[in-house]
Structure 1
Amino acid sequence: MFDTFRGLPVHILVIHAVVVLVPLMAVATVLVAWIPRWRAKAAWWVVVGNVGIVVLVKVAQLSGNKLLERVGSTPAIEHHLKLGDQMLWFALGLLLASVLVALARNANAPVPTVVAVLAVVGAVAATGWVIRTGEAGSNAVWHDIVTNTTP
């Protein structure tokens, strides 16, 4: 199930969604946390979106393990694998931050501000980690190919 889709590795397809949607949901989480009118209307929708992010990250991990069985391991792939395993924790952190935002949507000051600061921390951490993980993965795949070819 997590191996291939229409002849392509599922991992390659899913990671593009992760790389785009984690930063997008991070921005959505922060905006909803800081804008009271948006918080009242969209906080639980952001939670739903972040649940989707957690699912996508898990699918990326499972499909990455299937791809690893096909291509074998290198030190660069092992580095990417370790970072990818930790990405789930960052996605869960972003989800937790969005749940806190939703739960505090009607709270009195300073609770929404404290929660909004936590949302910023979670958003920056998740975005930074997805960039770091993606860079390690692209380096594992493309570094030697680009180094050994000419434009």
Structure 2
Amino acid sequence: MAVREILRFGNVKLKRVSRKIDIIDEEVFNIVQDLKDTLYSTTGIGLAAPQIGILKRVILIDLRDGEEPIVLINPLIVAKIGKEESIEGCLSYPGYEGKVIRPKKVTVQGLNTKGEKVEYIAEGVLAKAFCHEIDHLDGILYIDRAKKIYKIEE
């Protein structure tokens, strides 16, 4: 559909809680396509609908590892195991990275674009991506959780 502008830190929409999706219809398919078009115009691995100005509970994650991208509607973290510190960045806060503590392993449930309930058990980068993108749906940026923020040197 379209490459959308990615909202930047300071935009009030990034701090709002997104609405649950009750019906998977053409509007939702268009949101998913815009998320894909926008993400693939960057080097990022995840994008949430609020980042393109849509306050609906949809995320896209593509680790760019040859696997199919993950699209989740109304995602929810239902279990967390352990803790791990790592460096994160965000397309909505370009030029910076931060040290963030995230769960080592998560179980995430949601709906796919067919309306089917799906579940992922993830660790490593995928677990962090789920946490990061789901946080966006709740108006939380990684910088809200970061222990330290660093400017990325060119």
The alignment's TM-score, normalised by the length of structure 1, stands at 0.31
TM-score by length of 2: 0.30
Relative contact order higher in (CA < 8 Å, ≥ 6 apart): 1
| Bigger-Rg structure (1/2) | 1
Q: Which has the higher helix share?
A: 1
